[in-house]
Chain A
Amino acid sequence: MVLFSIPFHEITESFGAAVSCLSTSHLTDEVIRRSKRMILDTLGVGLLGTSTPVFNTVLQCSQQALENSKVWGRPGLSLPPQYAAFVNGVAVHSMDFDDTWHPATHPSGAVLPAVLALAETLPVKPSGLELLLAFSVGIEVQGRLLRFSKEAHNIPKRFHPPAVVGVMGSAAATAKLLGLPAAQSIAALAIACSSAGAPMANAATQTKPLHMGNAARGGLEATQLALLGLEGNAQILDLESGFGAFYPDYVPHPLAEVTPTSRYRWVLEDQNIAQKRFPAHLGMHWVADAAIEARAKFLDKCPNADLSQIKKITLRVPTSRYVDCPLPVSEHQARHSFQFNCCTALLDGEVTVESFSKSQMIRSALKEMLLKVQLENPQDNHSSFEKMYCEIAVETTQGEMFTARCNTFYGHWRKPLSHVDLVRKFRANASTVLSAEVVEGIIYTVDHLDTNQDCSMLWSYMHFNKHMMDRNERRSSALA
């Protein structure tokens, strides 16, 4: 006997409805194009990341017997899907090379590993378009949630966004891939919410990549639990004590209704994404571009100049404690250091993957230059990836001053990488681990994802490694 009626829980219900009603017919060309770029880029950084110590650590930790989903860059090695999602997610964020959005988060790394790991285990494999749909839903949910808080629009201080919205995105994407009804999608979101949130303090450490891995894993697990019938709070997105727990200013709104014939306005359409040119925190890209320009001016004026003639370097950047690191010791710190990236760009005219290697980091010329850097935080330089700028002023011993300013670095959503440059980045990353043939195979497959009925090639390609023999092959050859 029910003595009261269930009130209409607008917001969460609208999410559940949207997640279950969005279909391939709602994908626009622009969304497809942009998401293919994101997928390509993410795969590339993931492959590169499989060579890092942190990836090896988590892999060792996760190995288990019943293997279902392929580990990237480890031929013959598979793990249960949530652990595959975990290690592959760690790979994607291991070098801070993955995409960044506005409001700030790294959306793809939380979603793609989970979606691929899950897709691999399904008896009937999804088409490329279905894969794209699930991926887009995962990105969309993140974008919508971030817009529920003004604080989310600034460079984060408290919780690391991928750990907050990333896990929700992963839950939504995997729920979508399984075709869960709205009520179960809501359950997946609610369960995922209890796995959300990691403090900023672990950024710039070896643990940061785990935020991404855990987001991918947690979302997938949440969906698996929801599928088994587990329920959480059906108002999870409406409540301050729910998802609102992660923000001081939480004002949620319901998603628009989705009908089979309506047009759906995706966040990704209105707000493009930034893809990085080198593996460091997004803020470093403004600094690098400004420093490269100042260096060019300096060398232009004094073609044979010695960079040790630089007396003082002033950087005008937004306030952000966790990327203010005068003397980084680890590569993780270096990727989160205005000063380091500035000096590298001044010395070398560019910042690359190699810039964060041990040998590059211990250069005495670099260390000397680091001592000359002074940071300033002008009032008009907002801690927001939408509004910030970087100004550099280089003073020489001769008394000359060279300045430059970067408002929008190349790769930012306002100035996206060209297709050629995006593919070039992918090739450079992927070929550290894959042969040229396989690299081209992935490029082709992602490019044709929306027209491909069978995309299982994708995770098969990810499973190669030109430096390693297949684990199974190795065993049989050892026995021979």
Chain B
Amino acid sequence: INVCTQRSTRYLSAISAARGLHKSALDVVERPAPEETVTSSFGRFIQSVQPRHLSPTVLQRSKRMVLDSIGVGLLGSTTDVFELALQHCQHMYAPDDVSFVYGRQGVKLSPTLAAFVNGVAAHSMDFDDTWHPATHPSGAVLPALLAISDMFHNNSKPSGLDFLTAFNVGIEIQGWLMRFSNEAHNIPKRFHPPSVVGTMGSAAACARLLSLDRNQCSNALAIAASLAGAPMANAATQSKPLHIGNASRLGLEAALLASRGLEASPLVLDAVPGVAGFSAFYEDYAPNPIASLEEHEHSFLIETQDIAFKRFPAHLGMHWIADAATVVHKTLVGLKGGSVSPNLVQEILLRVPLSKYINRPFPETEHQARHSFQFNACTALLDGEVTVQSFHTEALQRPELLALLSRVRVEHPHDNPANFNIMYGEVEVTLVSGDVLRGRCDTFYGHWRNPLSQESLQKKFRSNAGAVLSNERVERLIEAVEGLDHLDDCKPLLAQLQ
């Protein structure tokens, strides 16, 4: 039983009664305080949070997230789906084409469309960050903020700290919303989380950067709720990246509409029986208001719950199984030397959590391969690692890979739940000789419990960004992000991306 839920449904201020919120006219009672609802608490938070609320840890972690997200976005600008989305938007053509596009020097689009294509880039290869509860938070927020930053006049660009504040607001709101549901803590089955909370996060971040007042912030969230929600079935297809692109774009649109005065439900985040708001996206929804910043010390969620950065472009679950398979690969190579030959292998057993959309015995496309326990295990078994190149067409069709794939069996142990905080990956290879080799991974390198070192993160960035930018720009970007909280304005960051 959630006291706050009960409170919000007994909301009886004069204002709300006048708005006719489901109470008999004769029951109207006078009461002040517009802060009672969950929704208004969110609006208030977004409007009132300041740079000084950001702790060093929060600063450090968010800068890492910004760096990684830019990198995967730049790499993603080389994909087919990105090219497609870009063509689509160029056809749409905008007069206020002021915002940059990743990896396309000189090309500009309107802010919303730039947010869209850059968001698609960020998620195009499933290389972007993952959080707990599960979502890809940065890809939904960063493109929108960068697009807006391009909108500001050259003399009044936001400072690095303002930018980081807005970014963290966007991440924070996502984290808060996911904690309203137990269902959200597991690998998703129904709605793709970035399309649910990502849109809300983008709206919040944009509202913050645009300095909207608290009512406008609440409205931005409510408008965004009507733009949220895409079903899981489109994961592992070419359309999945659009979920992040749309989250970014639509959150920005929601903020812009709110800034023009559009209003929506003032109770969208509250749990009102009989009329679903944001609760529509969950089976179990129990919201809580964010405490007022004037009365409480606000602790950002990223402070206590770090984020995972991927080492290769595939669904997070793949990282456990790849690391487990790499252990076996090393053992095999140690025994026989050279490369691993499929002829040695009789059977491969994978022990993984039960999750239909990442259980694919014979993936046909790169999108499917990024969502296949079997594919990633066999690749790591063969090569000792999974890389960006592992998902290229030639790699997908290797006969030795296909040979291994046909020998894979999958088990779903009861102690291996579909939860990124608890799951593990186990690979058991039976050789024709009768030997059985095992590898297990509880926490892959890059998981929030074992985060990438700053060196590893920068290495990933250099490799990604270097695919489309000169070394000079790559280094300047690293520098700009590293010093973001000290920049008077974020021009140095934007300049490298134009």
Taking Cβ atoms with an 8 Å cutoff, the residues of A that contact B are 1-4, 54, 57-58, 60-61, 63-66, 80, 82-83, 157-160, 163, 190-191, 193-207, 210-211, 214, 221, 224-225, 228-233, 235-236, 239-246, 319-322, 324-330, 333, 337, 339, 370-371, 373-375
B15 nearest CB neighbor, chain A only: A329
Given contacts A199-B278, A224-B88, 7 further A-B contacts (CB under 8 A): A3-B405, A61-B253, A194-B234, A198-B229, A200-B275, A202-B264, A243-B233
Residues of A within 8 A of B279 (CB): 199
Whether B275 pairs with A61 at a CB distance below 8 angstroms is: no
**B93 near A80: Cβ-Cβ < 8 Å:** yes
Contact partners of B331 in chain A: CB under 8 A: none
The answer to whether B231 and A333 touch across the interface, beta carbons within 8 angstroms, is no
Tell whether, in the assembled complex, residue A207 and residue B222 are in contact, meaning their CB atoms are under 8 Å apart: yes
**A201-B265, A225-B84 given as contacts; is B275 within 8 A of A157 (CB)?**
yes
Most central of A66, A225, A241, A333 by chain B CB within 10 Å: A241
- Which residues of chain A have C-beta atoms less than 8 A from B190's C-beta? 240-241, 245
B136 to A: closest C-beta gap in Å: 15
Contact across chains for A194 and B230 when beta carbons are under 8 A apart: yes
Which residues of B from 252 to 275 have beta carbons under 8 Å from A? 253, 256-257, 260-265, 267-268, 272-275
What distance in Å separates the Cβ of A151 from its nearest Cβ neighbour in chain B? Answer: 12
* Bound CA span A413–B396, Å: 56
Stretch at the interface among B137-145, B166-174, B239-247: B239-247
| Residue of B with least CB distance to A224 | B88
- Asked if B95 lies at the interface with its beta carbon under 8 angstroms from chain A, I say yes
Q: Which of B96, B242, B402 is close to A191, meaning CB atoms less than 8 Å apart?
A: B242
Distance between Cα atoms of A240 and B238 in the complex (Å): 19
Whether B362 sits at the interface, judged by CB under 8 Å, is yes
Is B276 a contact of A57 with CB atoms below 8 Å? no
Across the interface, which residues of A come within 8 angstroms of B3, CB to CB?
A: none
Please state if B406 and A3 are interface contacts (CB–CB under 8 Å): yes
- B96-133 Cβ-contact flags toward A at 8 Å (1 or 0): 10000000000000100000000000000000000000
Residues of chain B in range 196-231 having any CB-CB distance to chain A below 8 Å: 222-223, 225-231
A sample of 20 cross-chain residue pairs with beta-carbon separation below 8 angstroms, ordered by A number, consists of: A1-B399, A3-B362, A3-B402, A57-B261, A63-B95, A158-B276, A159-B276, A194-B234, A194-B242, A195-B230, A198-B228, A198-B229, A202-B268, A205-B264, A230-B239, A242-B232, A242-B233, A245-B190, A245-B191, A327-B28
- Do A82 and B92 have beta carbons less than 8 Å apart? yes
Query: B93 touching A232 by the CB < 8 A rule?
Result: no
Asked if B483 CB lies within 8 Å of chain A CBs, one says no
Residues of A within 8 A of B230 (CB): 193-197
Report how many A-B pairs have Cβ atoms within 8 Å: 237
B18 and A201 form a contact (CB under 8 A)? no
CA distance A61 to B26 in the complex (A): 41
Q: Are A322 and B274 in contact (CB under 8 A)?
A: yes
In the complex, the chain A residue whose C-beta lies closest to that of B93 is A66
In the complex, residue of chain B having the shortest beta-carbon distance to the beta carbon of A327: B20
* Chain B residues within 8 Å of chain A by Cβ, number: 78
Q: Report the Cα distance A221→B113, complex, angstroms.
A: 13
Docked-complex contact A201 and B357, CB < 8 angstroms: no
Closest residue to A239 on the B side, CB-wise? B233
Name the one of B87, B226, B236 contacting A202, with C-beta atoms under 8 angstroms. B226
Determine if B272 and A201 form an interchain contact, defined as CB atoms under 8 angstroms apart.
yes
State the CA gap A60–B256 with chains docked (Å): 11
The answer to whether A337 and B20 have CB atoms under 8 Å apart is yes
One of B25, B226, B272, B274 near A210 (C-beta < 8 A): B226
The digit string for B352-390, where 1 denotes a CB below 8 A from any CB of A, is: 000011000110100000000000000000000000000
Q: Which residues of A contact B290 (CB under 8 A)?
A: none
Chain B residue with Cβ nearest A191: B239
Contacts of B267 in A (CB 8 A): 201
What's the nearest-Cβ distance from chain A to residue B221, in Å? 11
A196 touches B257 (CB 8 A): no
B232 contact set on A, CB distance < 8 A: 241-242, 245
Q: B189 in the interface, Cβ–Cβ < 8 Å? A: yes
Decide if B225 touches A198 in the complex (CB within 8 Å).
yes
Counting chain A CB atoms within 10 Å of each CB, the highest count among B20, B81, B230, B402 belongs to B20
Which chain A positions have C-beta within 8 A of B414? none
- Give complex CA distance A324, B27 in Å: 14
**A61/B20 in contact, CB under 8 A:** no
Interface assignment of B195: CB less than 8 Å from any CB of chain A: yes
B18, A327: Cβ atoms closer than 8 Å: yes
Residues in A whose Cβ lies below 8 Å from that of B185: none
